[in-house]
Amino acid sequence: MEKQVRKIVTIFNLRSELEDYETIHAEIEKGIQFRGTNLWILMFAIVVASVGLNMNSTAVIIGAMLISPLMGPINGMGYSLATYDFYLFRRSLKNFIYAVGVSLLTSALYFFLSPINEAHSELLARTSPTIYDVLIALFGGLAGIVAISSKLKGNVIPGVAIATALMPPICTAGYGLATLQFNFFFGALYLFTINTVFIAFAALVVCQYLKFPIGSIVDPDRKKRVNRALTAVILITLVPSVYFGYQLVQNENFSQHAEYFISQVSVVEGNYLQKSNINPSNKNVDLVYNGYGLSPKHIDSIKLVAFFNKIDTAKLSISQGFEASFVQENTRRYQSETEILNNRLNATTFALRQAENRIDSIRNIPALGEKLLSEIQPLYPQINGCSYTETFSYFMRKDSILRSNRTPLVIFTVSRNTLRTADKNKIGEWLKSRLEKPEVLTYYDEIR
């Protein structure tokens, strides 16, 4: 056992392939310089990335990342902090600020002169950083500094340049400056700051883990001040990204509920959904119907379905299209007979499709119970039987009876006291995923 552990430790040992410390120092020191060749390469890379963002070309943006020398001073800052080489840190920071300034000016000048100023998806993707961008920068930075420290560098450095994506956000910030759209500028600059801080932090962690030599005696009080400042910078950079990441997850959940809700109300008694719009950031859903016209009863039924799908009915907008307004206002005489028939045909076609889908689902209900039993029984042998059906809930509202959407009902036959509460919770979550329904009613018929 001890030999196996040692073998595993040897496989993951970084020091066996570690480059000479002087060679690593020389390589990092060379990378922080921004003059002559490095400076021109940086400006060329900035222009290439700006063109890629302007034309919405992912391939061009990747090419700019590969030729960009921006990683050099960032790794230099992390390395110098790990070895407490404050002279090298000042040089790295100075060259980094210089490189960022040149990059911003170059990209802003390009976008100022470019006749195309529309913000495409590649630009928009760099304005809303989250905690996931922190993870990308951290692990990309770890891969980069490990590759620099190793004798076997391979193709890791270009891959890290693509993964951490330093070029696109700085070019997007330049776009924000050129077009005076400061939401683009600050959002992209924050993403660039995340990449910078956590790539440098990754370099610091690896350098300290590999015990890079400290070149001079450092005052312990100064060490504490440096560590406190570093912790403050990391927290200030990290906390907003956690909040934005939480918002992203909430918006994705809302979009899923809203899409499922829209699929349930695509046809409402002679009215078909012409257009829908989901706004996750404001939690708004807009629906536009055409057909015979929506009555208050129809609108109430749509809102009830929205309620069951966790959609705030106060933020649900239901309106009628041009054709439906004509029907409601008794102006059909201005329409030709052909137009009226076409409207009816469209609504009837939608209704028939929905009816066919319901019939197919009803026919498949007996088989579905058998499938559920065959899938769950190998995982929980104590389950002996399964009954499956779909039911409706009815509610009184404003002197009328409203019906909810169909809810699956699953009854499992099990031996008494053989399923724990945790097992039942897992089975419930599995059923929701398996049946693709937000709500599933589950009961357990326990027998001796």
The separation between CA 376 and the C-alpha centre of its own chain, rounded to angstroms, equals 32
Long-range contacts of 112-119 (CB under 8 A, 24+ apart): 112/178, 114/50, 114/54, 116/54, 116/55, 117/179, 119/175, 119/181, 119/184
Q: Distance (Å, rounded) from C-alpha 341 to C-alpha 139?
A: 62
Give strand pairing partners of 94. none
The H or E element spanning position 311 is: none
pLDDT at 105: 92
Give strand pairing partners of 129. none
Residue type, 293: G
Structure tokens, 190: 């924050």
Give strand pairing partners of 407. 391
Q: What percent of the chain has pLDDT over 90?
A: 2
Nearest Cα neighbor of 64 from 80, 81, 47, 76 is 47
- Helices of type H across 114-181: 121-124, 131-149, 156-164, 167-179
The H or E element spanning position 278 is: strand 271-279
Other Cβ atoms closer than 10 A to 192: 26
In this structure, what is the dihedral angle of CA atoms 290, 293, 296, 298, given to the nearest 10 degrees?
-60
Record the pTM.
0.58
SS3 category, 161: helix
Taking residues 344-367, report their average pLDDT: 74
SS3 category, 250: helix
To which residue do tokens 């209704």 refer? 351
Q: Dump pLDDT digits (tens) for 302-316.
A: 888 888 888 888 888
Structure tokens, 102: 């040149």
The separation between CA 405 and the C-alpha centre of its own chain, rounded to angstroms, equals 30
Q: What percent of the chain has pLDDT over 70?
A: 85
Backbone angles phi, psi at 287, to 5 degrees: -125, 135
**pLDDT above 80 (res 337):** no
Q: Dump pLDDT digits (tens) for 136-153.
A: 888 878 887 887 787 765
pLDDT at 276: 86
pLDDT at 127: 62
**pLDDT above 80 (res 68):** no
**pLDDT above 50 (res 331):** no
**Mean pLDDT, rounded, of the chain:** 80
**pLDDT above 50 (res 339):** yes
DSSP state, 381?
T
Angle of helix 182-209 relative to helix 131-149, nearest 10 degrees, comes to 40
Q: Dump pLDDT digits (tens) for 192-232.
A: 888 888 888 988 888 888 888 886 777 788 888 888 888 89
**pLDDT above 70 (res 59):** yes
Q: Distance (Å, rounded) from C-alpha 203 to C-alpha 212?
A: 11
- Helices of type H across 309-364: 322-328, 337-363
Q: Dump pLDDT digits (tens) for 84-122.
A: 888 888 999 998 898 889 889 998 998 888 876 665 555
Query: How buried is 7 (Cβ within 10 angstroms: 0-12 exposed, 13-18 middle, 19+ buried)?
Result: exposed
